[in-house]
Amino acid sequence: MINKAQSPKSKVQCPPICLTIAGLDPSGGAGIIADIKTFTAFGCFATAAVTSLTFQNTTGVFGAVNQTAESVRGQVLPVIEDFQIAAVKTGMLPTGEVIEEVARLIQEFKLPAPVVDPVVRSTSGFDLITDEALQSLIKSLFPLARVVTPNIAEAERITNLKIETFESMQAAARKIYDLGAKVVLVKSGHLVHDGKTRDLLFDGESFEVFEGQFIETKATHGTGCTLAAGIAANLANGKTLNEAVQIAKDFVTNAIRTAPHIGRGHSPINLITENGK
Ligand code: PXL
């Protein structure tokens, strides 16, 4: 959606405005910093509300201070009262109270259906959300989502299924749909087929497969956040969901391929790009 002349004095066409509601990774690879870079790469204006201050670098997550429902609402309200938001992305929503507040805000202000990245655990094994929060996420936020984008580990925790094959990815997608998500994108990650990743989109009727080149690397920090933010930005730019998924996936693959390899652990990917290229 294009924001027509939000500022009457400005002759510049306003870019679509995207909002991320997610955690802060101060090392810049994941969370809102990755989202802001991704929105910007696709020509959108980035806004962000922080749900948790995490303490981390490329080697791991060492702790987190979570925000409250009140402080998340306090951040989001002035932004949505002033700007017309074209797309919303959610990432780390650490507690039930934060999730319920985000669901309330979306319904109360009729925000665009969010791209929900069901962040559960960091690559290094740090639990980013409580078990109770996961149940809130499923019950309160999945039904409001435009699309829910779990990776295999997240899909396993949501469904209690073991996912080792493409067929079990399909079963998990069906189960997440049955749990209330209207559309599910299960990302294949390391579950590779003929050297290709195969992400699976399910809308309750048919499966769509999105292929990408698998790149064997440790530089994967922030891939989930970037994919979800890329989908949101492309929806904001007027693409269909299928187009948005393919464009965002190609963007992530390219960002992995050209990763800067910084830090001693899982390097962030390359988000220094122009116009999503
Ligand atoms: O990639 C998952 C993720 C999302 N958001 C934040 C994170 C992480 C993983 O560490 O820290 C803030």
Residue 127 and residue 138: Cα distance in Å, rounded? 17
Residue 177 and residue 245: Cα distance in Å, rounded? 18
Atom of ligand 1 nearest to the CA of 56: 11
Residue 46 and residue 35: Cα distance in Å, rounded? 8
For the chain, the distance separating the N- and C-terminal CA atoms, rounded to the nearest angstrom, is 21
Grouping H, G, I as helix, E, B as strand and the rest as coil, residue 35 is helix
Amino acid, res. 240: T
Report strand pairing: 45-57 vs 17-24. parallel
Q: Using a 6 Å cutoff on CB, does residue 129 contact ligand 1?
A: no
Active site residue 54: no
Active site residue 59: no
CA atoms 156, 161, 167, 173: torsion sign: negative
Q: What is the pLDDT of residue 164?
A: 95
Residue 227 and residue 244: Cα distance in Å, rounded? 10
Q: What is the pLDDT of residue 22?
A: 98
Q: Using a 6 Å cutoff on CB, does residue 54 contact ligand 1?
A: yes
Neighbours of 251 (CB within 10 A): 25
Q: Using a 6 Å cutoff on CB, does residue 267 contact ligand 1?
A: no
Q: What is the pLDDT of residue 6?
A: 55
* 16, containing H or E segment: none
Q: What is the pLDDT of residue 11?
A: 60
Torsion of CA 119, 131, 204, 187, to 10 degrees: 30
Report strand pairing: 17-24 vs 115-116. unpaired
Residue 129 and residue 125: Cα distance in Å, rounded? 12
DSSP secondary structure code for residue 140 in this structure: I
pTM, two decimals, is 0.94
**DSSP state letters, 55-66:** EEETTEEEEEEE
Catalytic residue among 23, 225, 249, 253: 225
Active site residue 212: no
Catalytic residue among 31, 212, 224, 230: 224
Q: What is the pLDDT of residue 273?
A: 72
Q: What is the pLDDT of residue 128?
A: 87
Tens place of pLDDT per residue across the chain (277 aa): 445 445 555 566 889 999 999 999 999 999 999 999 999 999 999 999 999 999 999 999 999 999 999 999 999 999 999 999 999 999 999 999 999 999 999 999 999 999 999 998 887 778 888 888 999 999 999 999 999 999 999 999 999 999 999 999 999 999 999 999 999 999 998 888 889 999 999 999 999 999 999 999 988 899 999 999 999 999 999 999 999 999 999 999 999 999 899 999 999 999 987 655 5
Report strand pairing: 85-90 vs 192-193. unpaired
Maximum CA pair distance of the chain? 56
Atom of ligand 1 nearest to the CA of 224: 1
